[in-house]
Chain A
Amino acid sequence: MTHCDEVGEMLSGYVDGELTQASEQQVRVHVETCENCKETLADLTAIREKVQDLNLGEMRSDEWEDRVKDAMTTRSRNIGWMLFVGGVGVLCAYGVWAFLTDDSVSPIVRVAWSAMWGGLATLFLSVLRERLIKSKDDKYNDVEI
C-alpha cells in the first residue's frame, strides 16, 4: 500500500501529467483511498488554474514588437559603427606604414611622430576601457533627460 510520504510531490507531477504510467497509477490508487491527499490534489489543481489566469506582468504584443524592432535597429547601427571604425583603422594603419617607410622623412621625426600617436592611442584605449567597464554597472544608462 502506498503511503502519503511516497506520493507527496508526485501529486504535482500527476496534476501536470508528467508522471510515468506506473507512477500515475500509484497516485490514482492512493488518492482514491486517502482523503488528505485527495484534498491536497484538489488544492494543487485549483491553485494551478488560478495562477494560469493571473496577469503576471505579461507585456502587450505591440509593445513587444516595438522592443524587437528597436533591438534590431540598435544591432544594425552597431554593425555600421564597427564597419566605419574598422575602415578608419585600416586607413590609419596604412597611413602610419606609409609614413614610417617614407625615406624622405628623417628617422628622428618618424620616431617622434610614432611615439606621439602611439601615446595618444594608448591614452584613448585606456579611457575607452574604463568607460566600457563602468557602463555595465551604470544605472543611469537609459535615463532620458
Chain B
Amino acid sequence: MRPDVASLLEGVGPGAHALATQILGNRDEAADAVQDALRAALENAGRFDPALGEQNTWFLTIVRNRCIDIVRRRVRRAEEVIDESQHVGGSEPGLAVEQDEMVAHLRRELAQLKPDQREILTLRDYLGLSYTEIAVVTGIADGTVMSRLHRARMALVARMRRYRT
C-alpha cells in the first residue's frame, strides 16, 4: 500500500524537521536529513506496510535513520559542531527575541541533554507520539520507552531546578 503523499505534505514534515534538529543539534544538517528522508520515502512508497504503523511513524523512522547516518559520518570525520550559531542551544537568528527567561533557560538546558534524551522528549512531549509509536520509530522495546523517557524528563527537571527562585 502506498502512503498518501498529500498527508506527508500536510502532516508530519514540519515536526520531522524538529526531531532531526534535536537529534543533530544543527539546523542545516537537519534540513538535509529531512530532505533525504523525503526522497527515500517517495522512492520507497510501495514498501510502506500499514500493519507496522501509521505513515507518520514510518516517515519519522526514516528521518531518524538518516540522522543516525549523519551522526556516524560525523564520527568518521571526527567533526564537531563548531558553528555555535547553528546549534539549537545558541542564538537563533530570525526568531523573535524571547521575553521569557525561563523559556530561554529551558531551551539551553534541553540542548545540553544527550541526543537520545532530546530525541525521546521531542517524540513524546513535542510530537505527541504514543509509547508504542515511539518504540517503532526508535527501535527499542515498548517497556523501555517509559523508563528512557522518565530519565530524560528527570534530567531536564534536575537542570531546571537551579533556576527556581
Contacts and interface: CB of A to CB of B under 8 A. Distances in A.
B147 A56 contact: no
B156 A47 contact: yes
Give the interface centre of B42, B88, B130 by most chain A CB atoms within 10 Å.
Answer: B42
Interface string A63-76: 01101101110110
B78 interface: no
A54 B38 contact: no
Nearest to B152: A12
A137 B161 CA distance: 42
Nearest to A68: B9
A54 B131 CA distance: 21
Nearest to A60: B14
A122 B95 CA distance: 53
Contacts of B107: 54
Contact of A51 (B8, B110, B147): B110
Interface in B115-153: 121-122, 124-126, 130-131, 146-147, 149-151, 153
A6 interface: no
19 contacts: A11-B150, A12-B146, A18-B146, A40-B157, A47-B153, A50-B102, A50-B106, A54-B110, A56-B18, A56-B126, A57-B18, A57-B20, A58-B18, A59-B18, A64-B13, A65-B9, A67-B38, A71-B35, A71-B39
